Structure 1
Amino acid sequence: MTRNATSAAQECVFCAIAARQAHTSVVCEDDTVVVFMDLNPVTPGHLLVVPRKHAVGLEDLDGATSAHVWSVGHDMARALRRSSMGCEGINILLCDGEAAFQTVFHFHLHVIPRYAGDGWTLKAESTERERSLLDNDAQVIKDAITSTD
């Protein structure tokens, strides 16, 4: 970890939670992740899946940890569905970067149980994009995939 990353991790509330230096309501944990209740839940049962090792966003997360976070997120969604909380749906949400509404700069996956009439919405104004623009966007992304190999 670089000096700045080390400093950020030392001041990070999620690092403190993962190290059991801050109070939280833990649901489960292993050597790689800790799952706990969101302090400001969208709905009752809102969980966060957080890697123990500090990573700001997707670019900072290694593939094995990323895969494990998503797998645990899947397990938590299934547990919420099977629980007596009575949720009727699940949103899995990742906010990667300030422009994507990330507010705690330690990678975390939200697992949000949904209930009819819970009042939380995701509404975006979108319009159909022209095929030539979609094809161009696809090529730009393909080029970036090739450059990461």
Structure 2
Amino acid sequence: MKLAGECRCGAVTYHSPTTPQLAVYACHCQHCQAWSGGGFALHALLPEGAFTLTGPTVEYHYEQQGQHARHYLCATCHTRMYNTTSAAPRLWVLRAGTLHERSSLRPVAHIWVKHKQPWLVLPDDVPTWQESPTPETFAAALTGGCRA
């Protein structure tokens, strides 16, 4: 899948000169539910610098439970584009719903399922965790090396 996308209004776009493999996962935590306005949020982990972002952005940052996160949003429509977190150094967390080609996305893992909405049925063959897995376990699941 070509890595390209944009915010809701189109003021901020991104693209990558390469075609990175996307490790898409669904987060069901209460923060992601509130930020997405839905039952979960889809994220794709990418190496730092995996794409070039163009357009006006604003930054939102916070610290929670010893982790520091920086979120980058469109300055016009406030769509969250990606974030960084001290929990995953040297990785960018792309909001997968901003991709142009998103119809074939399938999460390879689900985290924070203790907050999953009861109407959502998860596939049996996809790793899930009640909260956040260890970085090593999560990395193995995202690359297809683990079935939790």
More helix by share: 1
More strand by share: 2
When normalised by structure 1's length, the TM-score is 0.22
- Greater RCO (CA < 8 Å, at least 6 residues apart): 2
